[in-house]
Amino acid sequence: MDSAAPGRGCPLSYRYGAAALSRQSSLDVETLWVVGGLYGNPFALERLLALYEREPGPKALVFNGDFHWFDIEKNQFRAIDDAVHGHRATRGNVETELARPAHGAGCGCAYPEWVDEATVLRSNRIIERLGATARAFPQSLERLAALPMHLVATVGGERVAVVHGDADSLAGWGFSQEALATDAGRAAASAAFEGAQARIFASSHSCLPVLQSFAGGRVIANNGAAGMPNFRGTSFGLATRISVAPSGAALYGVAAATLFVEAVPLEYDPAAWARRFVAQWPAGSDAHRSYYERIANGPRYGMHQAVRPEAALAA
C-alpha cells in the first residue's frame, strides 16, 4: 500500500502492468459482453441477462468488477453474487476489498484529485457497511477472492484485454474519460496496447463511459456503469458488446478492425431501482448522499462526450 489516505491510494497487490495481459487468451468467442459497475442493481442484471440470452453464436459474458456495491440487504447480495458467478467474472476493487481487505485501502477506489474528499470518505464507509453483509457469506468471499483481476479473450480472432481499471492496475484511472481527454493520457493509453498485445481494452471503474479510438483500429471501451445512468436525463445502464456482427440495440459504437465495439443500453425500471436503492440506503445515508442524484437524474455528462474519434498524439 502506498502512503495515500484510505480511498485515495492503490494497494500494491492491485498492480500488474500491461505485460501481464500479453498472455494467451482464455476465451475464444464471436461475441463478448463486458459488464462493469453493476453496483448491486438487480433490475439492470435482469435486463442484461435477457439481452445476452438472445445473442446467437459462440459468446461469453464477463462481469469485470464492482458488481456489488449498494446491495447491503443479504438476500440481494446473495442473488447478485450467485447470478454473476453463473458467467465469467473478474474482481473489481469492491470485491477485492470485501474478500481481502488491504489495511488502509478503504474502498480501494484510488480516487484521483478531482473527486472530492467527502465522496471518498463516504465510499470508505459504504465498503465497511457492505463488508458487514458480505461476512455473512464466507463461501461467497472465498469465491470472490479467487476471481482474477483481468482476463484476455479472443473475439473474432482479435485479442481483447478485459480489466477493471486500466492496463496497469485494478483501480487505475488511465482509461477514465478525464484521463483520455488529455494528450498525455491518450499517449499512455496508446502505449499500453503494445504491452498487452491487444486490439481492444474493455474497462470500467471510473464510472463514466468512453469509447476512445486509436490509430490502427484499436479501441478502449469503458462502459461506465451497468447499474446506474451514465448521461444526464437518462435512466439506463450501459454494457460493452464486442462482436463480429453489429447489434440491433446499440446506443453507439465504433469499428476496431473487423470488430464492432458497441455500448448497449440496459433499460431497467428506474422507479423500481430507486425504491430498492432507498430501501437499503435511505435519505441521509452515505450512498444516498453520493449517488441518489445520479440514480434519479443521471450524471452531468452527455452521450456526445463519450465517443472519441482517433486523435493525433502529441509529438
Q: List binders of Fe ion among 208-227 (CB under 5 A).
A: none
How many residues sit in the footprint of Fe ion (CB under 5 A)? 4
Distance, in Å, from the CA atom of 207 to the CA atom of 174, rounded to the nearest integer, reads 13
Q: HEC profile for 215-251?
A: CCCEEEEECCCCCCCCCCCCCCEEEEEEECCCCCCCC
Question: Which of 8, 68, 186, 205 contacts Fe ion by CB under 5 A?
Answer: 205
Sequence-distant (6+) residues with CB within 8 A of 306 are 177, 208, 209, 210, 211, 224, 230, 231, 252, 263
Beta strand 200-203 with 158-162: parallel, antiparallel or unpaired? parallel
Biggest alpha carbon–alpha carbon distance for the chain: 54
> Binding string, 53-82, against Fe ion, x = CB under 5 A?
-------------x----------------
- Residue 83 exposed, middle or buried by CB count within 10 Å (0-12, 13-18, 19+): middle
Question: Which of 7, 92, 106, 156 contacts Fe ion by CB under 5 A?
Answer: 92
Contact window for Fe ion (CB under 5 A) among 154-162, 200-208, 223-231, 240-248:
200-208
Q: Least distance (Å) from Fe ion to the CB of residue 215?
A: 28
- Closer to Fe ion at the Cβ: 92 or 174? 92
Distance, in Å, from the CA atom of 75 to the CA atom of 285, rounded to the nearest integer, reads 20
Does 124 sit near Fe ion (CB under 5 A)?
Answer: no
- Closer to Fe ion at the Cβ: 18 or 94? 94
Question: Which of 31, 76, 93, 96 contacts Fe ion by CB under 5 A?
Answer: 93
Footprint on this chain of Fe ion (rule: CB under 5 A):
66, 92-93, 205
